[in-house]
Structure 1
């Protein structure tokens, strides 16, 4: 029901007395992180990410949040702040920013990655980018946003301390408490403690590693592992696969390779783009002589080169997967190669990664992966660090963020172990509205917060027709039927039938004859009716015939061509499908 002007005024007046936290993504899932704070006529948006598709999302490139609530309230949005430059925090910006056209705030590397995305996807849009540094404070509407340095698996990551009219909020961003960070940029413990003493209304804390006991190891430990690998395998070509955004680790690999007198070849579009950007901005300090193009590898001695490639998640067309299949244009792997996979599989990618590792062993490669040595450490806090965050901040209320549902629940259990009351800890779903006033916090009616699928340049709802059709085609195949009829809707020639993905070709001959007879009989019964009726009669006849021989029903795609005596051919291509 539409909101009348009187209702709108009443809602706004009540909203000035309450602060609302609304996650639109990132709750109960890995990725697609986006949330907002709303007070009266002011909205502050935090991050705008994507997530990668599940295996059953056939042909889908990625998934983005449903921005409906932000679009309905875009006049209230005072700014969008970014915690760091990973895809699950910036990936959906090209789909959101042109619609709301608000300023964004982030560190130099984060904004550099954002600008690169817009150059690729929305080159005509000018981003209103504002560079910030850890320690700075920006006022956006009624919100004072303090930017805090954090440690993560990408440089220039931030946490947020936000002053609101109702109370202070801490947003951890993705973080861990690394005592020996590679960039000598330690977590901002002092700001956390300072706000803990002042009083924190709400803590929003990263839950990705809430199931992991102890402390997350330092990234510096991976560097020591790499040093040992290069020293031990001096006579092999070393191929290393990792996230292209893990610039700390990429820099360690490059520096280690140079110390062992090896050149570096970069494989993969995102790997090349991110390394080039990091060099331009000063996060990786090496000159051009450190690198060789992939096409030069064939003539180089194996012990004089290291290869940095994408594909740690088993992505079908990534560099490492193509190498494992023997399909890469420049690199053919064999017994003289050592492959190091320096990443853990994202949940859902385990089979793809295992298949890639198996294929590498089939090539005769020696393979080192996380199960063997410390070739990877997480960028997220484990249980003891999560407890440290809770103990320093001492929040009145707590909401775990960024994780699958079990991670959120496990994080709440940690809060309970530290003495927080169950009524003060909230496990939210995307779209839930957590409302605060000076007396209490409570969950109110949710707002719309679904997801949209991106396929190339097309966007559709997660349960839209395209994905349903692809699932039907993938499960049961397709039968295409083409018939030509005269003006009286009588067959002029036998029906033409083709099938794909439904039955083996050696079984098709007899079935096609039965279908031709059934289709001819159905058209005869529908003689004199409209072309749409002929099309539906074909679908019905095919389905009824298939029920006798198969439990599955393929998509049936009929095409009816009407032969007219005076004006030549007039075609009516009418489509239908079996359920």
Structure 2
């Protein structure tokens, strides 16, 4: 009997982010991606990661980490995890270049980085892994064929079927079809992000001419383009449009500068030194002959465009001669922040161009027609939809069902699920933690309780009550000290704070008269009296901070 294959999903199922799975045979594990989720309502949190406890408990069983491509939702968790373990990381040259820079910036010792070229095969642990090129909104994406004792497992990576990619690098569906016909594909794990969108996606190469038109229409104005720093194909087209309209290029933002340099070094981005301006040259050069490529298309707080929008960028001051192009679509959850940046820029006089007005962006994820083509080429026996919100997973399931796959052959999973692939098929076998691991900018863990407290402080304010008790005399040494921020209007504070003092004095007088001197119990009584008064008078839920000192 052949060994079963176990797959444990630590993230990426039911949300866009934290993509991470462990594929295991004979107690040897290969990790597939290790991503982060960007915080959306988590004050003081820099990254939301998979809960790595199960992995770290089994760190000696981990052979390697295979990385499909260098987007943050696939590599953002690597610095945190690799503080605690060191195994080889496999990926394309661009992916590994970005990972190397990320690890160095976090001062994490570099593990072995194994470069994978298109269509290469590597023995990794108990698996034979074949890597196929895929087209996506970054360079060097890889689809992975895992040959296992239970047959071929195909992980699609994030992909689209672009017939005219900027770099000419097509998703290799032909090889997928060949493998399906010769070996059969036992299990498909496939990107579900655009499963609910009918048709096929726009080719990336169709964006360039539209950008060039925008550049021509804005002759005599400075052009600032915000896009993702890893989207080398888009950066190439922006650079081409700038060159064709006789503009010099300035690259701003640490990640943009780093990734452009890496892509040029690897030959993925073709931009001449002659058209590039450094910071000193940018300050002196004619603004109407400049195109600035920078970060901030998602209104990231420290990104270049965000800083420009509030007049805090050290090099660029926005005025009526500026056209700012947002060459991206809003990531769900970022809309309000992006619109705020748009409004700030317009107030400063800028003209705004975004994907809601013109087709200056296209997705990197295949739509329903492209996902169907992948299913047709791979013709899998079994299927697990991955990478997407829960509705995306359901939509992808419908695509599989539409081509005749039986419902019993499809397994719908969530974060933390562990599944087993054996001679009998595919079935759930247990679960591990699928909870969030939240870390701050230093990489220190942030508890859920602390985040809840910060949210409460930010939304309802706080009330501090300090009480001094004379144990011998069984009485308060003085009236309680009460202060607040963010609870009620300043003009109403005195009235409400005096009311709290009265309630606290009353409850403590009774307790002390009855011989109660346990600090925990007295603290509980102060909290209860304060909370009851606050709820009765205002219906609010501020954070209560009772401090009881017994002398």
Q: TM-score, normalised by structure 2?
A: 0.93
- Who is 2:428 aligned against? 443
* Per-residue deviation, 1:103: 1.2
Please give the alpha-carbon distance, in whole angstroms, between the structure 2 residues aligned to 1:562 and 1:445: 51
Q: Which residue of 1 aligns with 2:129?
A: 145
Counting matched residue pairs gives 546
Mapping of 1:228-377 within 5 angstroms? Answer: 228-286=213-271, 288-294=273-279, 297=282, 299-377=284-362
1:549 counterpart = 2:537: yes
Select which of 463, 477, 482 maps to 1:497: 482
Cross-structure match for 2:393: 408
2-structure distance, mates of 1:132, 1:424: 32
8 Å contact from structure 2 (residues 411, 427) kept in 1: no
1:149-228 aligned at under 5 Å gives the runs 149-198=133-182, 199-228=184-213
Aligned-residue offset at 1:110:
0.7
* Residue 20 (structure 1) aligns with: 6
Partner of 1:10: none
Counterpart of 1:58?
Answer: 43
Q: 1:291 to 1:503 in 2, by over 3 A?
A: farther
| Cross-structure match for 2:454 | 470
8 Å Cα contact 2:419/2:430 also seen in 1: no
CA distance in 2, matches of 1:308, 1:548: 55
The SS at the match of 2:498 is: helix
Whole-angstrom distance in 1 between the partners of 2:480 and 2:26: 66
1:535-558 deviation digits (Å, cap 9, x = unpaired): 334323322332331111321223
Distance 1:165 1:302, change over 3 A: same
Q: Which moved more, 1:20-29 or 1:509-518?
A: 509-518
CA distance in 2, matches of 1:28, 1:531: 45
Matched residue of 1:85: which SS? Answer: coil
Is 2:378 the counterpart of 1:390? no
**What per-residue deviation string (whole Å, max 9, x for no partner) do you get for residues 130-151 of structure 1?**
1111111111222100011111
The corresponding residue for 1:49 is: 35
Query: Closer, same or farther in 2 for the Cα pair 1:250/1:425, shift >3 Å?
Result: same
For 1:558 and 1:417, locate their aligned partners in 2 and report how far apart those are by CA, in whole Å. Answer: 61
Aligned partner of 2:366 among 375, 381, 386: 381
CA shift in 2, pair 1:365/1:557, >3 Å:
same
What SS does the aligned partner of 1:482 have? strand
Structure 1 counterpart of 2:524: 536
The equivalences for 1:506-517 within 5 A come to 506-517=491-502
The correspondence for 1:424, drawn from 406, 409, 430, is 409
- In 2, the alpha carbon distance for the partners of 1:208 and 1:319 equals 28
Q: CA deviation at 1:165?
A: 1.1
Q: CA deviation at 1:298?
A: 5.3
Mapped to 2, the partners of 1:391 and 1:101 lie a distance apart of 39
Whole-angstrom distance in 2 between the partners of 1:182 and 1:174: 17
Mean alpha-carbon deviation: is it higher for 233-242 or for 295-304? 295-304
Distance (Å, rounded) in 2 between the aligned partners of 1:120 and 1:205: 32
Tell whether 2:10 aligns with 1:40: no
Give structure 2 stretches of 5+ with no counterpart.
Answer: none
Shift of 1:193: 1.6
TM-score (norm 1): 0.89
Gaps (5+ residues) in structure 1? 1-13, 564-579
